[in-house]
Amino acid sequence: MSVFNTVKNLSFTVLCLINLSAFAQSFIPAGSIVYPFRASPAIVKTGTQFHILYNNKGQYPIDSVVLKGPYSQVRLKVDSISKGRFEYDSYTRMYTNNKIWVAVPAGRPEDMYDLVVYTAGTVEVSRRSVKLLREFSAKHSFIHITDTHVSRNWVGPADDGFAEELQLLDRFITVANIISPDLVVVTGDLIHDYTRFNKDARGWGGDTIKGYTKLPTIEEKYRNYFEGAKGYRGVQYINAPVFSVPGNHDFYGMKEDDHPAKAAQWNVLCGIRVSGLAYAGTRFMFIDDYLGDPVNDIPNKKPMSGLQGKALHNFLNTYGKGQLRIMAQHRHDRADTAFINQQKVGLIVNGHIHTPHADTLGRTPTIRIRPGVVARSGENHRWEKILGLFRIIRIDGEKFEYSEPLRFCSNPIETYDKIKLNLTLNFKAGNTGTAVSNEAIIDNKLSALLPSCRVRFVMKKGVYTVTGGLVHQQFDSGAYSIVDVKADVQANAIKKVSIQLK
């Protein structure tokens, strides 16, 4: 059972990642879910279909496909299973041998779900990879963060430690889950291409390693970023789908100029590298301007002039151009102006440079923004300019607005237990399913209005009334009633939301 859908056999993975450039066209990793998975989750309206790209090593019969959430489980109807070669990266030529179409029953609870595929003798799990919702609203939002550099600095022994950056990232996740965006976009440098041990007070010095055969491995680095470690949470604990694009540090153990190997490493451990998302009238395009698909094997300032440009042209032709087009990429100075002018891209979100910035380019014109960094070790000396920052982007049809860089805590250079969040949610009574009344207190110290913050009440089974917010959904789970409430919270204000058994 591959519980987190990662390649567990280290010797097998090392073999696969050595000289991948020579045989990436024929390589299929061990049986696993490639989509939806890690960097490219799925957002699915209940009552509709979606597809799963699945490596079925033994071509075993598919017994069942299930979505498992924290308080609900959804059995999916398998509509069709196609066998063949389903290429998901036109540069590495990586592919799966099964494409499974499944249907989601109508009316199922909105939530983030694990995707579980049961075959003869195996259980494959793609953690927190499917978001179910009832409708794609024309009004939607996303949080933009970048350059987490998870595992740049390592705490503890190589074989039993954790990425220091998780301490800030974990605290940010608490804030993100209160804001409750429709999705989160991370624009590269998710991990780091070396690991530093025994850092000095500034986050530098010590000893660094870059070799794949030394611990921690590339699997462990990505596991820290996605799943967390040692009680600290990774991005998959955000209660929204998280879309991640590659940056210049998102590889490990490869030669920097071996682009096919670097891109294939991403395919094996993160899934799809270049993708599009149609959300209501918005078309998101997630691109790679560093690992692979460069023109003549050299990344340049026209990343869309190669294979991924063709892939995203096809995406826009298939789903239509919508009302607003948004591109997510890593580097600030690799915007392909020919593509963004042709497609009239309205917004580019990027990272790479760690200071916040906003400007325009192209003829549309295209707005280009970066937020600063939400978590990165070795930057304490200039934390006031870059650290603990994120942006919220709100969309309404063809229009959008973006916040100023927001700092999720007031003191990002403090130790984990002393970090003071600028947005908190606390319950008066235990939120454990035994109470018949409760009150949630949201304390917003951010200088931004936060519409539709989420409060999830876990109550004793019954029917409830709510004051101070609007009930978004209510469903029963065993002995509990789950009541999700949305509440608007003014800037620098406290909001109380109460629930009571009818």
The reply to whether 228 falls in a domain is: yes
For the segment 417-443, the average pLDDT, to the nearest whole number, is: 98
> Does residue 308 lie within any of the structural domains?
yes
Kindly report the CATH number assigned to the domain that includes residue 112.
2.60.40
Bridge partners (DSSP) listed for residue 99: 53, 82
How much is the pLDDT for 196?
95
Between 120 and 404, the higher pLDDT residue? 404
The reply to whether 403 and 446 lie within a common domain is: no
pTM for the model: 0.94
State how far the Cα of 31 lies from the Cα of 240, in Å rounded to an integer.
26
Do 240 and 365 have their domain in common?
A: yes
- If asked whether residues 77 and 117 sit together in one domain, one would say yes
Per-residue model confidence (pLDDT) at position 224: 98
Last residue of a domain, one of 117, 133, 149: 133
Q: Is residue 389 part of a domain?
A: yes
- 124 plus 185 within the same structural domain: no
In this structure, is residue 4 part of a structural domain? no
Statement to judge: residues 119 and 201 lie in one domain: no
Residue 470 is part of a domain; what is its CATH number? 2.60.40.1180
Q: Is residue 97 part of a domain?
A: yes
User: What is the pLDDT, as a whole number, of residue 57?
Assistant: 85
Say if 463 falls within a structural domain: yes
The Cα-based distances of 342 to 244, 307, 490 in angstroms read 25, 17, 39
- Using the predicted structure, report yes or no on whether residue 298 has a pLDDT greater than 70: no
> Looking at per-residue confidence, does 297 or 163 come out higher?
163
Determine the residue type at 265. Answer: Q
Do 326 and 197 fall within a single domain? yes
Q: Domain check: are 102 and 118 in the same one?
A: yes
Total structural domains within the chain: 3
Kindly state whether residues 342 and 490 are assigned to the same domain: no
Which domain range does residue 55 map to? 10-133
- Please give the Cα distance from 185 to 164 (Å, whole number): 21
pLDDT of 166-215, one tens digit each?
Answer: 999 999 999 999 999 999 999 999 999 999 999 988 889 999 998 777 89
* Residue 1 lies inside a defined structural domain of this protein: no
Take residue 293 and report the two structure tokens written for it: 């698909």
Instruction: Report the CATH number that the domain containing residue 396 is assigned in CATH.
Output: 3.60.21.10
178 with 275, same domain: the answer is yes
Question: Rounded CA gap, 267 and 220, in Å?
Answer: 16
Same structural domain, 405 and 468: no
Residue ending a domain, among 111, 133, 155, is 133
Is pLDDT at 253 greater than 70 in this prediction? yes
Measured distance CA(345)–CA(365) in Å, rounded = 8
| Whether residues 206 and 308 fall in one domain | yes
> Residue 32 falls within a domain, yes or no?
yes
**Which residues make Cβ contacts (< 8 Å) with residue 361, sequence separation at least 6?**
335, 337, 340, 368
Q: Is 184 exposed, middle or buried (0-12, 13-18, 19+ CB in 10 A)?
A: buried
Examine the domain organization and report whether 402 and 278 are in the same domain.
yes
Domain boundary among 418, 439, 467: 418
Candidates 142, 145, 353; CA nearest to 245 is: 145
Decide: helix, strand or coil at residue 342. Answer: helix
At 356-387, the pLDDT tens digits run 999 999 999 999 999 999 998 888 888 999 99
User: Distances in Å between the alpha carbon of 252 and those of 11, 17, 125, 220?
Assistant: 16, 10, 24, 11
